[in-house]
Amino acid sequence: MKKSDANFRISHPHQSPHQLGKSGEITALRYLRRQGYKIIARRCKVGRGEIDIIAYDKQTLVFIEVKTRRSRRFGTPEESVTFTKQKQIRRLAEKYCAQHDLEDSPCRFDVLTLERLPDKGWTITQFRNAFE
């Protein structure tokens, strides 16, 4: 994955895993809006799957996977976006584009990671064009 230089800190109290995930998505939405993205959908159900965030970055339709972690105990957040997960996201994006007549639209896949680093609060990192 290509790492973006966009990092910043956000402080949050300790949360349950479910709350952590929701908080991560909300934080990701705020970040994307600050970067000028136009949010189209959030937690978009496509068939049996779900795309975390769909947005426009200028004229490009972006499918965004959000990964939130408290630690690197089980690896980095971006490592959890496996080849299998990438295939699933691609398949869901193709279905979404077909359903909304967007097959000819330029698109890309980004991954946003939020992780808590010891004594540094929350850091968000954007991987643009994370996979094809």
8-39 pLDDT, tens digit each:
444 445 667 667 777 778 888 999 999 999 99
Q: Stretch 41-69: mean pLDDT, rounded?
A: 93
Question: What gap in Å lies between CA 125 and CA 76, rounded to an integer?
Answer: 11
63-106 pLDDT, tens digit each:
999 988 766 677 777 877 889 999 999 999 999 999 999 999 99
Can you give the pTM of this predicted structure? 0.82
- Give every strand in the sheet of 38-46, ordered side by side: 7-10, 121-131, 107-117, 60-69, 49-57, 38-46
Q: Are strands 121-131 and 49-57 parallel, antiparallel or unpaired?
A: unpaired
Question: What gap in Å lies between CA 8 and CA 5, rounded to an integer?
Answer: 10
Output the CA torsion 91→78→8→12 (10° steps).
Answer: 90
Right CATH number for 7-131 from 3.10.180.10, 3.40.1350.10, 1.20.120.420, 3.10.580.10? Answer: 3.40.1350.10
User: Which of helix, strand or coil describes residue 59?
Assistant: coil
Q: Stretch 43-71: mean pLDDT, rounded?
A: 91
Boundaries of every domain in the chain: 7-131
